[in-house]
Structure formats: structure tokens, C-alpha cells
Amino acid sequence: MNSSPITTWEGAGAYFTFADKPAVIAFFLLAATVACFGAIVIGFLHENKSFKNFE
């Protein structure tokens, strides 16, 4: 099953998804930043709550 539209890799340099759409790249950067920061904050809050229950 070969559903790829690419038939040959000869002469191919690189494929850049969304390279010509800076708004999409900025959205993905913002989403990754929010996800990372959110995980840190949620982990911090969880650890503080867990430590209070331990005392």
C-alpha cells in the first residue's frame, strides 16, 4: 500500500511544513510554551498539595 504522492526522492533538498505561514509556526510555538508552562505549574501545585497531606 503506497499512498504517498512522492514518487522519487531524487533532487529533494528538504520539505518544510508551514514554512511560508509564520502565523501557524507562532501558534505551534505558543501552544508548546503554554503546554510546558502549564505542566510545570500543575506539577508544582500537585506537589504542594501532596506535601501538605503528608505533614
For 10-28, what is each residue's pLDDT tens digit? Answer: 877 777 778 789 999 999 9
**Structural domain of residue 34, as residue ranges?**
28-55
Q: Is residue 37 part of a domain?
A: yes
Q: Is residue 12 part of a domain?
A: no
Q: Is residue 40 part of a domain?
A: yes
- Cell numbers for 6: 512522492
Q: Is residue 41 part of a domain?
A: yes
Q: Is residue 14 part of a domain?
A: no
Domains in the chain: how many in total?
1
* pLDDT exceeds cutoff 80 at 46: yes
Residue range 32-40: mean pLDDT, rounded = 98
**Helices and strands (DSSP H and E) totals, the chain:** 1, 0
Q: What are phi and psi of 28, to 5 degrees?
A: -65, -40
Give the global pTM: 0.61
